[in-house]
Amino acid sequence: MKELNLHIDVKVYQNEELNEADCQLVQAAREATKRSYSPYSHFSVGAAALLSNGTIVTGSNQENAASPSSLCAERTALFYANSQYPDCAVNVLAIAARNEQGMFTEAPVPPCGACRQVMLETEKRFGQPMRILLCGVHEVYELQGVSSLLPLSFDVSSMQ
């Protein structure tokens, strides 16, 4: 038997340690939570994507009584970016969330599995990693790419 050990590097920043560009992106993700439509979960998520041309696009989770028809903030932002700016890579994606009481979550909230897969496809599409900022009240986790969230990922190379 052989054992495979996976190691994930996560940098943890206090909000005041972020550079100006990251602060702006985190703020955009937090603002996007206000546009969430989440009458069922009462969990508002916002995402902000910084594109290679300097544009910031945002998305928020949009729920539906028929739950599978709902869409997460990350996918909303990435699908919009890819449809409106098809030639621009996503350089950074920031994600923030508010709980049922309307307060930002204490700990940074990671994306769901479906969003991780879409994030991976976005990276593969442009051939470059996407930095990810997961935002909590006081701390922001920085990951250097989707492989940190999805180390054993499924992509086109898995089908060969």
Q: Which of 3, 31, 63, 74 is catalytic?
A: 74
66-97 tens-digit pLDDT = 988 999 999 999 999 999 999 999 999 999 99
Judged against a pLDDT cut of 90, whether residue 156 lies above it is answered with no
* pLDDT recorded at residue 32: 98
pTM for this model (two decimals): 0.94
CB atoms within 10 A of CB 132: 25
Provide the β-strand partners of residue 138. none
Does 142 participate in catalysis according to the annotation?
no
In this model, does residue 36 exceed pLDDT 90? Answer: yes
Mean pLDDT of 124-145: 97
- Position 85 scores a pLDDT of 98
- Whether residue 12 contacts residue 157, with contact meaning beta carbons closer than 8 Å, is answered with no
User: Tens of pLDDT along 38-52?
Assistant: 999 999 999 999 999
**What domains does the chain contain, in order, with CATH numbers?**
19-149 (3.40.140.10)
Residue type, 155: D
**23: Cβ–Cβ under 8 A, 6 or more apart, which residues?**
15
What does DSSP assign to residue 153?
-
